[in-house]
Structure formats: structure tokens, C-alpha cells
């Protein structure tokens, strides 16, 4: 790393790490115990430069987990602090102002809010930058600081950040999940990437995973582009719900609707998959679905199984359009309800008229 960049990192890195710890403390209680331990294991592996598939049930890791949880307990009431940089002070969420100092040096700072308005922070090296569909895409290489969420993509206004450093850990968790329900999709998707599912699990390597990581990161970009375009219709709705109903079932449901719009819109993730005939990304698409998005779009898994038998892209297009129409109608009705009702009344009406008709009485379990 060039000396000017190194000096900036020495100044900024401790501050970003401190804010990452605050972010982690605020989000830790939202996960199940299993889900939190999984994320802690991944964070430990990432910080120690271990591959995702290398398990570390060691006293050192357990001690590290205990220390991290103890640190979070002392930060439960803390807020992210302003960043001091080159003699100035910056709001920790003003990534654009901070990046004005960093980007000329090949560095990138990311900041935003995820579900329930929990903060997200990261700092890394800039791998590539390009303009696409009127947006600025920043692809990160090695990261120096990250929170426990490990979000693979983040859009902030006209900027999209793609994070190659934490992405393999998220992907491997999904591929190695022993539950059988999505095994067929994994086999088909990995075969399209030139890999045998069983052999990959037995003998994983960075070389084998390379084409999958490249293809799936491209799919992450397509989702973020879809969110900026076709999913933008839900942006104001989500902002309102996140403010008035933060952490509720309604907020989680609206986020699922937003993601369905981004994936199924006329220029969204599935549209790109279909147009570019990306069988690998198609096969693994249902594997990524979680929460209300999975409940809202069960046809995706069925569509992959049928495509594996018939190789008919028109059937995938029909399912894409079905998801688009479903999400559009749900967003429209929710807007009407929230314009006319408030508080518990709005949540109850949304459940009766929108949520239950689409997903029944089922609700996704706490994040796992």
C-alpha cells in the first residue's frame, strides 16, 4: 500500500473498527443464538484470513467469541461516532464526503443502514470502479474493517458497493447448509458453473469457487441495479415503514416486497439472468432467498426444477412476471393502508389484507 494511503488507514481504521463494534452490538440481539454464532465464526475466520470452509472449534476462537460478546455488552447504548480525517470531522454515515479523501488513494469507505435501521460500516481497498445504468459501481478488494452483517452489496443513492471480501463466507454457508430442500437447486446451479456439488463440499478450494463467486457477485450487482430501478417504487414506502414500524413484521414484509421488485422487475436480477442465459445464477437464485422474500416467491424453486428438466427460458420469464405482479400489487395496497391508517391499526390491516393472503399465517423465523 502506498505511503499516503497507509497514513490515511492508520488514522481512519481504528475509528471505523470502533463504529463496526457499535453496529454489531446493536444488531446482535436480532439473531437467533445459532445465527449469531454462525456470523461470529465467519467474522473470526475473516479477521484471521481463514477460508470459509476451515472450521475452528478451538479454545482461541471460543475465547475470541466471548471477548467480542463482552465488548458488545458495553456498547448497547452507544452510537456511531463522527470520523476525524485530515483535520476535518465527518458524519459516520456521510460515505461520499469521506470517500472524497479516500478514492484518490485507492480506498473505499462504506456506510448505511440495513433492516431495522441498524448501521453498516466497512473500509477496504478499491478493486475497480465503473458507471452502469446511471449509477457508480465500486468493487472492493481486500477489506480492512467490517461489521458482522457481511452484506455483499450496498446501494447508497447513486452508488453501489460490491464486497468481494466477505462474500465467499456468505456463499459457502449457503452451499454447505445440510438441509436437503434446496439440494437440487445447488446441484443444478453448481453444475452450470462446471462443478460437482458433492465433490466441492468434500474438497473445496479457492480455485473451484472462483467462477461461482464471479457469477454470483454479478447477480448481486443485478439485484442492486434492480433495487435502484424497478425496486425504487418501494423506496418511499420502506422509508416510511422503517421510521414508523421499525423492527415489526410489517417492516420485514415490506423489505421482502422491495427485494421481490428488485429481482423480478422488467430490468431486475431475473431479467438479467434470463437475457444472459445464466444457468448458474438461475440455479442458485432460490438458495439466496430468505425471510419474507422466500415466502413471497415459492415458485422460484419450482421453476428451477422445471427448467433443469425442460430448459425452457420462457417458463422462467412467466415466473418472473408473476413475482413482479405480486410485488407491485402488494406495494400498492400497502401504500393505501399506510396513507389512511397508523400504528397497530395499520399493521393489523396490512396483515389481514396483504400479508396473510400472500404467505398465509406463516412468518419467517428470527434471522438464522
The pLDDT > 70 percentage for the chain reads 98
Q: State the burial class of residue 261 (Cβ atoms within 10 Å of its Cβ: 0-12, 13-18, 19+).
A: buried
Confidence of residue 239 (pLDDT cuts 50, 70, 90): confident
Q: DSSP letters along 65-107, please?
A: HHHHHHHHHTTTT--PPPEEETTEEE-TT-HHHHHHHHGGGTE
Residue 30 has pLDDT above 80, yes or no: no
Q: DSSP letters along 181-203, please?
A: GGHHHHHHHHHHTT--HHHHHHS
Q: Between 113 and 197, whose confidence is greater?
A: 197
Can you tell me the mean pLDDT for 49-78?
89
pLDDT of residue 116: 62
Confidence of residue 115 (pLDDT cuts 50, 70, 90): low
pLDDT of residue 309: 95
pLDDT of residue 247: 82
Give 272-314 pLDDT, tens digit per residue: 999 999 999 999 999 999 999 999 999 999 999 999 999 999 9
Confidence of residue 93 (pLDDT cuts 50, 70, 90): very high
Residue 362 has pLDDT above 80, yes or no: no
Can you tell me the mean pLDDT for 110-119?
80
3-state secondary structure of 268: coil
Confidence of residue 15 (pLDDT cuts 50, 70, 90): very high
Residue 368 has pLDDT above 50, yes or no: no
Q: What is the residue-averaged pLDDT of the chain?
A: 92
Q: Which residue has the cell 455488552?
A: 73
Q: Between 246 and 197, whose confidence is greater?
A: 197
Residue 367 has pLDDT above 50, yes or no: no
pLDDT of residue 114: 76
Return the C-alpha cell found at 302.
Answer: 419450482
Can you tell me the mean pLDDT for 93-110?
95
Can you tell me the mean pLDDT for 42-47?
93
Tell me how many degrees the CA angle 225-231-237 measures, rounded to the nearest 5.
Answer: 140
pLDDT of residue 366: 43
**Integer angstrom CA distances of residue 248 from 40, 139, 262, 327, 363:** 25, 33, 22, 19, 11
Nearest Cα neighbor of 193 from 161, 171, 222 is 171
Give 153-162 pLDDT, tens digit per residue: 999 889 999 9
**Highest mean pLDDT: which range of 33-37, 113-117, 126-130:** 126-130
The pLDDT > 90 percentage for the chain reads 78
pTM tops 0.75: yes
Give 171-214 pLDDT, tens digit per residue: 999 999 988 999 999 999 999 999 999 999 999 999 999 999 99
Can you tell me the mean pLDDT for 26-45?
85
CA–CA separation, 318 and 324 (whole Å): 10
Domain ranges of the chain: 3-166, 177-359
Amino acid at each position: 500500500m502506498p505511503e499516503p494511503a497507509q497514513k490515511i488507514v492508520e488514522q481512519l481504521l481504528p475509528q471505523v473498527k470502533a463504529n463496526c463494534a457499535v453496529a454489531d452490538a446493536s444488531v446482535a440481539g436480532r439473531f437467533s443464538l445459532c445465527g449469531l454464532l454462525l456470523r461470529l465464526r465467519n467474522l473470526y475466520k475473516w479477521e484471521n484470513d481463514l477460508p470459509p470452509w476451515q472450521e475452528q472449534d478451538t479454545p482461541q476462537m471460543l475465547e475470541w467469541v466471548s471477548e467480542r460478546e463482552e465488548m458488545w455488552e458495553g456498547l448497547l447504548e452507544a452510537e456511531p461516532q463522527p470520523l476525524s480525517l485530515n483535520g476535518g470531522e465527518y458524519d459516520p454515515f456521510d460515505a461520499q464526503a469521506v470517500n472524497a479523501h479516500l478514492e484518490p488513494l485507492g480506498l473505499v469507505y462504506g456506510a448505511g443502514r440495513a433492516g431495522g435501521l441498524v448501521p453498516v460500516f466497512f473500509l477496504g481497498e478499491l478493486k475497480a470502479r465503473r458507471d452502469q445504468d446511471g449509477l457508480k459501481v465500486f468493487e472492493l478488494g481486500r477489506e480492512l474493517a467490517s461489521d458482522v452483517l457481511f452484506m455483499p452489496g450496498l446501494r447508497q443513492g447513486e452508488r453501489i458497493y460490491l464486497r468481494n471480501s466477505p462474500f465467499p463466507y456468505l456463499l459457502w454457508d449457503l452451499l454447505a447448509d445440510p438441509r436437503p430442500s434446496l439440494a437440487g437447486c445447488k446441484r443444478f446451479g453448481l453444475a452450470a458453473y462446471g462443478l460437482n456439488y458433492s465433490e466441492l463440499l468434500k474438497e473445496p478450494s479457492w480455485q473451484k469457487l472462483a467462477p461461482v463467486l464471479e457469477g454470483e457477485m454479478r447477480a448481486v450487482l443485478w439485484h442492486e441495479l434492480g433495487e435502484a430501478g424497478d425496486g425504487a417504487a418501494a423506496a418511499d414506502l420502506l422509508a416510511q415503514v422503517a421510521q414508523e414500524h421499525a423492527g415489526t413484521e410489517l417492516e420485514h414484509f415490506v423489505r421482502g416486497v422491495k427485494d421481490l421488485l428488485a429481482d423480478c422487475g422488467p430490468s431486475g436480477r431475473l431479467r438479467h439472468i434470463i437475457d444472459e442465459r445464466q444457468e448458474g445464477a438461475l440455479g442458485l437464485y432460490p438458495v439466496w432467498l430468505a425471510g419474507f422474500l422466500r415466502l413471497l416467491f415459492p415458485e422460484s424453486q419450482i421453476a428451477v426444477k422445471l427448467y433443469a428438466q425442460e430448459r425452457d427460458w420462457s417458463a422462467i420469464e412467466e415466473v418472473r412476471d408473476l413475482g413482479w405482479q405480486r410485488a407491485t400489487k402488494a406495494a400498492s395496497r400497502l401504500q393505501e393502508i399506510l396513507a389512511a391508517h397508523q400504528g397497530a391499526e395499520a399493521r393489523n390491516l396490512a396483515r389481514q389484507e396483504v400479508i396473510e393472503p400472500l404467505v398465509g399465517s406463516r412468518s419467517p423465523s428470527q434471522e438464522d
